[in-house]
Amino acid sequence: MRKLIAAMKTSVDAKVEGPEGVADWVEAWSDDYDLTPQVDACLLGAGMYPGYAQYWTPIRNEPDKPHPLTGQPPTAAEIEWSRFAAKTPHYVLSTTMKSALWPNTSFLRGLDDVLALKQRPGKDIYLIGGARTTANLIDAGLVDELRLIVYPLIAGEGKALFATTERRRGLEPRKVEELPDGRLSLIYGIG
Ligand SMILES: NC(=O)c1ccc[n+]([C@@H]2O[C@H](COP(=O)([O-])OP(=O)(O)OC[C@H]3O[C@@H](n4cnc5c(N)ncnc54)[C@H](OP(=O)(O)O)[C@@H]3O)[C@@H](O)[C@H]2O)c1
Q: How far is CA 141 from CA 7, 56, 69, 108, in A?
A: 16, 30, 36, 17
Per the CB < 8 A criterion, the answer to whether 78 and 28 are in contact is yes
- E strand or H helix at 148: strand 145-151
Nearest one of 108, 11, 20, 99 to 53, comparing CA atoms: 99
What is the whole-number distance in angstroms between the Cα of residue 130 and the centre of ligand 1?
4
* Beta strand pairing call for 184-190 and 39-45: unpaired
Nearest-CA residue for atom 25 of ligand 1:
94
Q: Is the CB of 128 under 6 A from ligand 1?
A: yes
Per the CB < 8 A criterion, the answer to whether 108 and 92 are in contact is yes
- List the pLDDT tens digit at each of the 191 positions of the chain: 999 999 999 999 999 999 999 999 998 888 789 999 999 999 999 999 999 999 999 999 999 999 998 899 999 999 999 999 999 999 999 999 999 999 999 999 999 999 999 999 999 999 999 999 999 999 999 999 999 999 999 999 999 999 999 999 999 999 999 999 999 999 999 98
What is the whole-number distance in angstroms between the Cα of residue 49 and the centre of ligand 1?
8
Alpha carbons 15 and 23: distance in angstroms, whole number: 8
pTM of the model: 0.96
pLDDT for position 88: 97
Return the number of other C-beta atoms located less than 10 Å from residue 125's C-beta. Answer: 27
pLDDT for position 27: 86
Alpha carbons 95 and 93: distance in angstroms, whole number: 7
Q: Is the CB of 17 under 6 A from ligand 1?
A: yes
Per the CB < 8 A criterion, the answer to whether 43 and 93 are in contact is yes
Q: Which atom of ligand 1 is nearest to the CA of 96?
A: 40
Mutate which of 20, 48, 117, 148 for ligand 1? The one with the most ligand atoms within 8 Å of its CB, which is 48
Nearest one of 24, 28, 127, 44 to 82, comparing CA atoms: 28
Which phi and psi (to 5°) does residue 102 adopt?
-75, 140
